[in-house]
Amino acid sequence: MTGHVIPVISYTLMLLGVFFSLASAIGIIRFPDVYTRLHASTKSLTGGALFVLCGAALQSDSWQSAAKMILIAGFLLATNPISSHAIARACYRHGIRPEPSHVDHYAKTVEKEPPR
Amino acid sequence: MISLILGGLLFSAAIAFCRLILGPTVPDRIVAAGTLSIILTTTLVVLSIVFRNNLFLDVALAFALLAFVDILIMAKYFEHGELHR
């Protein structure tokens, strides 16, 4: 009985992560704008990768490989928001605006900066 | 079960690759490339479970690091039009 608990938890976590990855891919193909696609690519994809990596770490043979999977998970958790923020900032500075926008506080900040 | 997980990951990678091909503007393609890199890192970790080989984990770590630096450099180049400013 106890031998079946850990594989069931692991496969459940991995299937949940695959579901989040599929949701993020569908969002990328269906959303209309760069910013909305970035929204789909950041949150659900980070969560999905985290779930799949935790499920894989539960199934690994030794603690070394499990530690390496947790290291990869932490690395993705740290770097994916940074790269998404860099892409969004580059899009705004390049002149792409989110189209039906009612409140735009970042425009004042960009206008106040001295031109380089 | 593990083939279902691999199939789902590769299907989402195929959808992201469609956006990489179709994407009307450049930042769409950058977003699709970042998504594709993260999905493929996850796929490499699942492959290390399938083949019982720890070498895939090192490859996945290096791939994630390279993809992060790539996305940062592409975003900076897209913002300024040149690299050093």
Are B79 and A84 a contacting pair at CB < 8 A? no
State which residues form the domain around A20.
7-96+106-112
How many structural domains is chain A composed of? Answer: 1
Q: Is residue B85 part of a domain?
A: no
Residues of chain B with pLDDT under 50: none
Q: Is residue B19 part of a domain?
A: yes
d(CA B75, CA B4): 34
Q: Is residue A2 part of a domain?
A: no
Could you give the ipTM of this predicted complex?
0.86
State which residues form the domain around B11.
2-80
How many structural domains is chain B composed of? Answer: 1
- Give the model's pLDDT for residue B81: 75
Can you give the pTM of this predicted structure?
Answer: 0.88
> Where does the pLDDT of residue A114 fall: very low under 50, low under 70, confident under 90, or very high at 90 and above?
low
Q: Which long-range contacts (CB under 8 A, 24 or more apart) does A30-37 make?
A: A33/A98, A33/A99, A34/A91, A34/A96, A34/B25, A34/B27, A34/B28, A34/B31, A35/A88, A35/A91, A35/A98, A37/B19, A37/B28, A37/B31, A37/B32
Amino acid identity of residue B19, one-letter, is R
Q: Six-digit token pair at A110?
A: 């960009």
Are B57 and A49 a contacting pair at CB < 8 A? no
Q: Is residue A101 part of a domain?
A: no
Any CB–CB contact under 8 A between A68 and chain B? yes
Percent of chain A with pLDDT over 90: 44
Q: Interface of chain B against chain A, CB under 8 Å?
A: 1, 4-5, 8-9, 11-13, 15-16, 18-19, 25, 27-28, 30-32, 34-35, 38-39, 41-42, 45-46, 48-49, 52, 54, 57-58, 60-61, 64-65, 68, 71-72, 75-76, 78-79, 85
